[in-house]
Amino acid sequence: MIALRRFLRTPEAVAGALILAALLAMALSAPWFFPRDPQSIAGPALLRPFQDWTLPLGTDRLGRDVMAGLFHGARASLAVGLAAAAGAILIGAVVGTLAGFAGGLLDEILMRITDAFQTVPGFLLALAFVSVAGPSLATVIVAITLGAWTGPARIARAEVLSIRERDYVAGARVIGMHPLEIAFREILPNALPPVLALSSVIVAAAILTEAALSFLGLGDPNRVTWGGMIAEGRAVLRSAPYLSIIPGVALVLTVLGVYLAGEGLVETSATRRMNA
């Protein structure tokens, strides 16, 4: 409760939480408000916003409902962002814990692998992977995860190196606990908070990467995405700029909300540690 009160006292955290709550509400309510296929024709082509209240945000070149696409696109963005962040943190935490706790040759091998992935820009790695494996939502999530796990791995390793010599770890060794049990049961939970602080950055980057891939035509062709909507509106940017502006604004607000909420969580955590 105290942590929640501190979070609510941070204006940027509250703003970010409200934006994310709106995104979550859009994603969860999409099947109820727009039960039809969002890629089906709903009205006349290029209907401008607010001309027909049954289609409040208008239609695209094929007559598809822009608002339906916006709501269903929120589902894709949320799924990619959360799944990629969870995968990156899981892989990074495991690799970092093994490298930091074992040390020696295993540490050297794992860190060189991390360096190899880190030398390739995450977007280029995702672009190459999706181009080879084929566009689908699962492929996009795996591609983004492959480029995002190195940061959590390095932070986890640094935390484990500072924790592994503490008294309670030595006590676990004395009573005969298995090294892997010590690493993942005793050390990892204490090393995890700084790693989790990266989650907001990874989620925001994943949403942007998915939008960029969809914009380039490498997103899931069976799903409506904000990047795909922006790309669709590019052909009629002069005559119907709203087709790109509306999903573009949604994308900007979502990334901003993730960053603000993440900053609020970090600030709340830092304040709690100082008071402790």
The answer to whether 198 touches 153, Cβ cutoff 8 Å, is no
What's the pLDDT at 152?
95
Tokens representing 38 are 């969002």
Is residue 205 situated within a structural domain?
yes
Is residue 266 situated within a structural domain?
yes
Confidence band, pLDDT 50/70/90 cuts, at residue 264 = confident
Residues linked to residue 59 through DSSP beta bridges, in sequence order = 65
Is residue 175 situated within a structural domain?
yes
> Which of 267 and 87 is assigned the larger pLDDT?
87
Whole-number mean pLDDT of the chain? 90
Checking if the pLDDT of 274 tops 60, the result is no
Is residue 8 situated within a structural domain?
no
Checking if the pLDDT of 46 tops 70, the result is yes
Average pLDDT over residues 264-268: 74
- Please write the tens of the pLDDT for every residue from 166-198: 888 888 888 888 889 999 998 999 898 889 888
What's the pLDDT at 197?
83
Is residue 32 situated within a structural domain?
no
Confidence band, pLDDT 50/70/90 cuts, at residue 272 = low
Domain holding 79, by residue range, is: 14-26+59-270
> Which of 52 and 269 is assigned the larger pLDDT?
52
Is residue 150 situated within a structural domain?
yes
Question: If you search the block for the tokens 């994603």, which residue do you land on?
Answer: 27
- Please write the tens of the pLDDT for every residue from 121-141: 999 999 999 999 988 999 999
Q: How many domains does the chain have?
A: 1
175 three-class SS: coil
What's the pLDDT at 181?
92
What's the pLDDT at 2?
58
What's the pLDDT at 262?
84
> Which of 80 and 262 is assigned the larger pLDDT?
80
Rounded distance between C-alpha atoms, residue 112 and residue 191, angstroms:
21
Is residue 53 situated within a structural domain?
no
Q: Which is nearest to 95 in space by CA: 1, 14, 184? A: 184
Q: Supply angle C-alpha 269, 273, 274, rounded to 5.
A: 120
Rounded distance between C-alpha atoms, residue 172 and residue 184, angstroms:
12
What's the pLDDT at 169?
87
Can you give the CATH number for the domain in which 239 is found?
A: 1.10.3720.10
First to last CA, the chain: 15
Is residue 174 situated within a structural domain?
yes
Chain-centre distance of CA 267, in angstroms? 20
Q: Express as a percent the part of the chain with pLDDT over 90.
A: 67
pTM for this predicted structure: 0.89
- Please write the tens of the pLDDT for every residue from 1-20: 655 676 667 788 888 989 99
What's the pLDDT at 269?
61
- Please write the tens of the pLDDT for every residue from 24-44: 999 999 999 999 999 999 999
